[in-house]
Amino acid sequence: MAAALCCGLLDYKTEKFALTRNRRVGLLHRLLQLAVLGYLLGWVLVVRRGYQDTDAAPHVSVITKMKGVSVTRSKDASSRLWDAVDYASPPQGENVLFLVTNFIATAKQAQGTCPESPSVLDGMCTEDVDCPVGNPVVHGNGIKTGKCVMFNATHSTCEIYGWCPVENNTLPRKPLLAEAENFTLFIKNTVNFTKFNFSKGNTLQTNDPTYFKSCTYDPFFNPSCPVFRIGDVVEAAGETFGDLALLGGSISIRIEWNCDLDQPTARCQPQYSFILVDRRYNFRTASYYWDSQRRPYRSLMKLYGIRFDISVHGQATVVCDLVLLYLDTKADFYWKEKFEEAKPPKGKTEAAADPQWADQDIRNAQ
């Protein structure tokens, strides 16, 4: 038994090939080989560009600036001037920017007691028992005092302790900052493909200092200008400015970089797309001040406007080493540049005998 096992361990096996002259089998075999070869050459190399190396995670930088001036007039005939500091938040933004297009103002609010708004369901009442003391008004503006009072000739509401008078909820029929349609948005974007040590910006390299002050982006006639007219952006997103400006909305600005670094760098240009995300957008803000008797007041603003969300995506491709080192006509040159023979400054024996190298080895060991 042991002898047979030892003999089996020492056996050597080799494959035997049988040649058959069957044309159908031979044809099928060659077709399968051609199919595999066609997949590699056609799909992997040509369509999917498998011969290229890709960097699909660029580092990006976005800086935005809004420009434009508007004047609004209230019911009491007072006027207010709006510039970028007033209607853009933040005034010098990054990849998110909010533009005020409409607002509701409630001026000179002070902390005290006043009737709740009749538009608040939980604030409606017919007698004092409907207004329990200390209960906050659900979706309201303050705390119930226990009294049911007349808001106007037709409505009675709970008296509250809060900022009085309560917020005005009368929405203008037209956007108050209609001129914002002609405001401009400057977008400065830089992408850095660290894998290939390549960076590119979307601003045109020019010596004309007035270029960015006079140009406006157009996808066909001026695609290199990073200054966008707000009305054009809203229209490109499939909406009209007047409708969107009344109640606000959200627009996504997508910047796409698809760069083939085997081509001239001038062909590496961004592509812009604009998508309407939401048709309503608003928030509240207040400015606080004190009168001569140090009593606190505030002016409440409910701001409607357009929120711009700027996102940057992209990838860069370059011919990979496989092509450069084996298939390119300058393969020998690339081999010499890529691979360098590392030669020690001294032989091992000489290094051991050299006190300087011995000290270096001691420091490395430590």
Task: Detail the residues annotated as belonging to a binding site.
Answer: 65-67, 184, 282-284, 302
Residue in the structure block whose two tokens are 């939401």:
278
| Whether 204 contacts 211, CB under 8 Å | yes
| Whether 121 contacts 155, CB under 8 Å | no
Closest CA to 101 of 216, 249, 228: 249
User: What is the per-residue burial (b if ≥16 Cβ within 10 Å, else e) of 311-325?
Assistant: ebbbbbbbbeeebbe
- Residue 231's contacts (CB-CB under 8 Å, 6 or more residues apart) are 181, 182, 241
Alpha carbon dihedral 339, 341, 342, 348, in 10-degree steps, equals 150
List, as residue ranges, the binding site for ATP.
65-67, 184, 282-284, 302
Residue 232, helix vs strand vs coil: helix
Q: How far apart are CA 191 and CA 201, in angstroms?
A: 6
| Whether 141 contacts 160, CB under 8 Å | yes
Q: What tokens were used for 360?
A: 């270096």
| Whether 21 contacts 29, CB under 8 Å | no
Q: How far apart are CA 108 and CA 318, in angstroms?
A: 63
For 238-279, the DSSP string reads T--HHHHHHH-EEEEEEEEEEEETTS-GGG--EEEEEEEEES
**Which own/partner pairs from 49-53 qualify as long-range (CB within 8 Å, at least 24 positions apart)?**
49/317, 51/319, 51/320, 51/322, 51/323, 52/260, 52/262, 52/317, 52/318, 52/319, 52/320, 53/195, 53/317, 53/318, 53/319, 53/320, 53/321
Measured between its terminal Cα atoms, the distance across the chain in Å is 59
